[in-house]
Amino acid sequence: MSGQRNINIKEFFLNHYSRTNRSNVTRIVMDLNSQYQLIIHEILPNIIIVADNFHLVQFFSGFIEGIIHKIK
């Protein structure tokens, strides 16, 4: 995600939701991309990030495939 897109996302949330509203959000399901995490923590100060199922399965499938290839 480009730096400009991070800025656009941040501006959108800051301009459309009050700090009080953003502080009330406690969970978000998302990709664990580190760039997303940085901007989300700035925008939503009380957030706990939960990994989405698709990316968890993708990560563990790749991990297991790597182990299988090392064993062979």
Checking if the pLDDT of 1 tops 60, the result is no
Q: Is the pTM of this model over 0.75?
A: no
Domains of the chain by residue range: 3-71
Query: Per the structure block, which two tokens stand in for 22?
Result: 């953003």
In degrees rounded to 5, what are phi and psi of residue 28?
A: -145, 135
Whole-Å CA distances, 62 to 32, 51, 53: 15, 16, 14
What is the DSSP code (8-state) at residue 65?
H
Contact partners, residue 65, CB within 8 Å, separation at least 6: none
pLDDT computed for residue 19 by the predictor? 94
- Per the CB < 8 A criterion, the answer to whether 10 and 38 are in contact is no
> Would strands 48-51 and 27-30 be described as parallel, antiparallel, or unpaired?
parallel
pLDDT tens track for 21-63:
999 999 999 887 767 888 899 999 999 999 888 988 988 999 9
